Chain A
């Protein structure tokens, strides 16, 4: 079934910048997410990549209803969930869950693993009757590759990779349909990353989960995602299948990003199409007019400052790209593993 399980339309999240302590005056807005639209199909993984300040973490929070959007909508199976509250919001949470980045701070240090994984059942008592909860927690521990006998241990007695598994077990407890993964492997060692990535894949196959996988590591994202969205300064600049994005990138930023990723193959050292961006990322409080990337783009023309390029399919590109001069360029020489 490839229906859309999640539809995001023109999502906006601005944070006010205030001055003063007692009487606050708003002097500007941090435009963290500034008009983002995409779909998530059932059972697929949508990767969201971008560098710091692009808004992907804010996007995660808004999708999880941890923040109210300033504008726009998020539709889950046809229902607008962006403005829910109370009991309806609580019930929604059973369907969309979160795995966080830092395994060392995302688990309450004073709760046992059993309490941590069992908490979803306490908050949503209708999911599992009281007597069955402990059994379910042990099942979950086993599912993520941990020893169910360790149910009474505390987080600090586990390694980083194991703690991340606990976080995944907790997210899985209510059998959600969508899991938002906010940089789930960035804080882990290289050899542990692979373990957790394989676990996420296995769980997706077993439970038909849909993932929104947010990360800055382009290699990790390619490995796990069917489709990828590239974000820059609060907007999606390019979106497509992983083939399209990695083999036929059309937006200059995507191209620069891909060319900057070092590939673990020394023989490719001198052959790289290296695009070096100049300048710093502009402040999200006052992003450039028109196309936000124009201040660092080698293709920038006057039109770029005047007209905001929309994310749509263009003549130079077989997938949506937000550039007036979108043009295919091969950066990554893909081969079969």
Chain B
């Protein structure tokens, strides 16, 4: 059972609504497996994290780490089969969503928690205009009239800085450029004023200048609405720019959690250290890229002990035997490594 970090926020909803609540959104000891005809893959193995209003949590990991599957489980859009939740809780304002009825979960989706994806083209229905899709949210969920819904939709398009919002209301998704489509998707997801936005690799497929614009937009919208933002990505540059706290995932677990400054200055897990050492930096000359040898583990056959041990330059016999728990190692920091203290206290 992992220790849960204490956040500065009090346990009784800081939104002033007086609602008795836990944190805004909290995942606790989540476990998910994928049952395929070739075997069972343990994709999430005890993940705990939370996000509070107005803060940005970055979930950092490579492919196979489980970062997207966790988000899908939170949203309730996990493909079942082959995915099955085998343990843990996902609490929104203190109530476990995994135990709610499908109806209740659907209500939270969009109004409580919304999600944007990497590929706007597949999130937006190509046979309906963008304006129609946004207005539909207002019509169906808020019962507005067509005229009112259209007005609100145009307002949303404006908010995401799409020029000529009124004109572009009747454009189809393919008539937008990549960056504009992403904005439209953001408009659609924020239409119902969600409290939490999950962004799953929102800028990975975009050009770097467009990426900067979109990240700016997200930051601004988050500030205005006091939203909690969960940013799922593998891009260490984007994370350094926008995150408040970071949870690093590997093989379905959180291996390190820290605030952004601590993580980059003094990583407390060999995987994080390895990642930071292996990325080329635009502002450095004469860099030697140190690589993490080997490959991520086969999730159907995770080695005993620490899942990172076959690739870890610091591995000791204990690493192959005992799974290191995610333990606090300082204020607001946690690491799942037997030698986290040594790593942090190095030079």
Contact = CB atoms under 8 A, between A and B. Distances in A.
Interface string A84-102: 0000000000000000000
A238 to B, nearest CB: 15
10 contacts: A190-B275, A191-B275, A194-B280, A257-B209, A262-B212, A264-B240, A265-B240, A266-B261, A267-B261, A268-B240
Given A264-B281, A269-B241, A337 B260 contact: no
A265 B264 contact: yes
Interface residues of B, number: 49
A28 B288 CA distance: 48
B237 A337 contact: no
A219 B289 contact: no
Contacts of A193: 278-279
B240 A336 contact: no
Most chain B CB inside 10 Å of its own CB: which residue of A159, A195, A223, A276: A223
Given A51-B207, A198-B291, A335 B283 contact: yes
B286 A336 contact: yes
B287 A260 contact: no
B147 to A, nearest CB: 30
Given A190-B275, A263-B237, A281 B177 contact: yes
A189 B287 contact: no
Interface in A230-282: 243, 246, 256-258, 260-269, 274, 276-277, 280-281
B241 A189 contact: no
A276 B190 CA distance: 24
Contacts of A194: 278-280, 289-292
Contacts of A114: none
Contacts of B216: 276
Identify the 6 closest CB pairs spanning chains A and B, nearest first: A262-B237, A223-B280, A194-B278, A51-B207, A260-B212, A264-B236
A195 B282 contact: no
A218 interface: yes
A216 B205 CA distance: 11
Contacts of A320: none
A256 B209 contact: yes
Given A190-B278, A194-B279, A194-B289, 8 more contacts: A190-B275, A194-B278, A194-B290, A195-B293, A219-B280, A267-B264, A269-B241, A334-B283
B198 to A, nearest CB: 20
Contacts of B346: none
B240 A332 contact: no
A189 B285 contact: no
A280 B180 contact: yes
A219 B283 CA distance: 8
A190 to B, nearest CB: 5
Contacts, number: 133
A26 B283 CA distance: 46
A266 B237 CA distance: 9
Contacts of A216: 207-208
A336 B210 CA distance: 29
B138 to A, nearest CB: 28
Nearest to A334: B283
Contacts of A263: 237, 240, 281-283
A160 to B, nearest CB: 8
Nearest to B286: A337
Contacts of B288: 337
B274 interface: yes
Given A269-B241, A280-B179, A337-B287, A219 B209 contact: no
A337 B285 contact: yes
A294 B290 CA distance: 41
Contacts of A280: 177, 179-180
Given A262-B240, A266-B264, A191 B62 contact: yes
Contacts of A198: 289, 291
Interface string B290-309: 11110110000000000000
Nearest to A332: B283
Contacts of A195: 291, 293
A161 interface: yes
B85 interface: no
Interface string B216-257: 100000000000000000111111110100000000000000
B282 A218 contact: yes
Contacts of A334: 283-285
Most chain A CB inside 10 Å of its own CB: which residue of B209, B276, B282, B284: B282
A222 B280 contact: yes
A52 interface: yes
Nearest to B205: A52
B287 A264 contact: no
A218 B282 CA distance: 7
B123 to A, nearest CB: 19
B7 interface: no
A257 B265 CA distance: 26
B240 A161 contact: no
Contacts of B279: 190, 193-194, 219, 264
A260 B291 contact: no
B206 to A, nearest CB: 9
B213 interface: yes
A257 B212 CA distance: 10
